[in-house]
Chain A
Amino acid sequence: SQTIHQWPATLVQPVGSPLSLECTVEGTSNPNLYWYRQAAGRGLQLLFYSVGIGQISSEVPQNLSASRPQDRQFILSSKKLLLSDSGFYLCAWSVSRGQFSPEKLFFGSGTQLSVL
């Protein structure tokens, strides 16, 4: 069966510090991978998605970046965190059906990031 691992579960970082959140998927090959952010009182916002190794699409301009060094590994990074980067970050995967129209999304357990 497929599983998705996301860590750490919680993170407190000072403004201006770097960030690295990691997500790995097991039990499937060539998944579509996604990073979402959930700010307090707001809906989930898609930050990045990837349809293959080294292929990253950004949905919103920001000081965050994403990388996919391996087929089932997705990393969210920042060189310098801002207060506005605080939120709940969720990694997700879906079966790849070409580049468009994802089917069911399967989410990780999330990382609560507090930037102070």
Chain B
Amino acid sequence: KQEVTQIPAALSVPEGENLVLNCSFTDSAIYNLQWFRQDPGKGLTSLLLIQSSQREQTSGRLNASLDKSSGRSTLYIAASQPGDSATYLCAFTETGANNLFFGTGTRLTVIP
């Protein structure tokens, strides 16, 4: 059974701080891994997608890394802002499958 674990479940940081969100998975046969952002009561927005052949992707203040051998991915947010407050979810796709396996997310609060 595929499992995706995100730690911590909730995180509060002061504005301007750099932070790391963690995602671990049990399946090494991943096709890609995505990080999403979800605002309360809203749908998900894809932030970054890392193919299994890649080690990291960057978009603005966000950097996501993937280590298949250890079953881990991290999302690094630089110089956090109050607008970054949201729940962040990671999800991976298995090779040859049509499903994304989601973690339960990390709820981030950036305090002004």
- Chain A: residues with CB nearer than 8 A to chain B? 6, 32, 41-46, 49, 51, 57, 59, 88, 90, 92, 99-110, 112
Least CB distance, B38 to chain A, in whole angstroms: 9
Contacts of A100 in B (CB 8 A): 95-98
Docked pose: A6 CA to B94 CA in angstroms:
27
Q: Is chain B's interface secondary structure helix, strand, loop, or mixed overall? A: strand
**Count, A-B residue pairs, CB within 8 A:** 66
A107 lies within 8 A of B98 (CB): no
Question: Shortest distance in angstroms between B27's beta carbon and chain A's nearest beta carbon?
Answer: 13
Count, chain B residues at interface, CB 8 A = 27
Shortest distance in angstroms between A74's beta carbon and chain B's nearest beta carbon?
14
List residues of chain A with CB within 8 A of the CB of B31: 101
User: Nearest chain B CB to A82's CB is how many angstroms away?
Assistant: 23
Instruction: Given A103-B49, A110-B41, verify A42-B100 contact (CB < 8 Å).
Output: no
A51: B residues at CB distance < 8 A: 98
